[in-house]
Amino acid sequence: MNKKIISLNKKIENCTKCPRLSEYIREVAKNKVRRFRGEKYHGRPLSGFGDVYAKLLIVGLAPAAHGGNRTGRMFTGDSSGDWLAKVMHKHGFASIPTSQSNDDGLVLKNAYITAAVRCAPPQNKPTKEEMENCFGYLQEEIKILKNISVILCLGKIAYDATCKLLNVKSDKFGHNVLFKHEKYYILTSYHPSKQNTQTGRLTWKDWSAVFSKAKKLTSNT
């Protein structure tokens, strides 16, 4: 793996910039929910993962308290991770259609997954200061991942962070919206959270359409 990304990932995983988040992820890891009581939680900030030569960068909100914060990998061990792995496998971005644990054999192809915030926030709501503290990590990632041509933003917070990263106006957020930056295509999607998938706001058809578009874009750039 790229030495620069290894160094950055170590820095992220040892980060303690946000006292509220550091305390929260440790508390969640200590006071586990019943269904995961026998498991050891990661309980630390999460770095991104995937193909360091990827053309597609997927930016999420933050690790889930009992998903990534438990398993030690973004979008792993929860329903959002299931939706993401399944659609990525369908469109050729993932080796398997599931994302259950850090050692499940999942390999990303031409894709890299990261997040606007690296620690699970209470109620999935990071503060403005916490988002600012994490912003530098996203800046470093985009500099290291030199082949990126398409950035897929999952949710409004990821979209706002990406717009800030590229110094472009953050227009009204919507699903399956595409615009061209000087260097990147920016593609937006509703986040595959239960609040969206179980209410019908995000259907499988609409979710898959986003990745179909991402596949075409990465094949042509």
* DSSP designation for 50: E
As a whole number of angstroms, the distance between CA 30 and CA 202 comes to: 33
HSE on the CB side for 128, CA within 13 Å?
1
Beta strand pairing call for 56-60 and 150-154 = parallel
Mean pLDDT of 210-220: 97
CA distance 136 to 116: 10
Place of tokens 């990932």: 9
pLDDT over threshold 80, residue 221? no
Mean pLDDT along residues 196-216 = 98
Q: Do 65 and 36 contact (CB within 8 A), yes or no?
A: no
What is the average pLDDT value for the chain, to the nearest integer? 97
pLDDT on residue 9: 98
pLDDT band at 171 (very low <50, low <70, confident <90, very high): confident
Alpha carbons 160 and 171: distance in angstroms, whole number: 9
Share of the chain above pLDDT 70, in %: 100
Write down the architecture of domain 3-220 according to CATH. 3-Layer(aba) Sandwich (3.40)
Is the pLDDT at 159 greater than 90? The verdict is yes
What pLDDT was estimated at residue 1?
Answer: 63
Helix (H) or strand (E) holding 197: helix 194-197
Helix H or strand E encompassing 130: helix 128-144
Q: Specify the DSSP element, H or E, that contains 204.
A: helix 204-220
pLDDT single digits (tens) 37-86? 999 999 999 999 999 999 999 999 999 999 999 999 999 999 999 999 99
Q: Which pLDDT does position 172 carry in this prediction?
A: 83
Summarize pLDDT for 111-145 with one digit per residue, the tens: 999 999 999 999 999 999 999 999 999 999 999 99
Give the pLDDT band of residue 146 (cuts 50, 70, 90): very high
Confidence label for 2 from pLDDT (cuts 50, 70 and 90): confident
Give every strand in the sheet of 177-180, ordered side by side: 49-50, 111-115, 56-60, 150-154, 185-189, 177-180
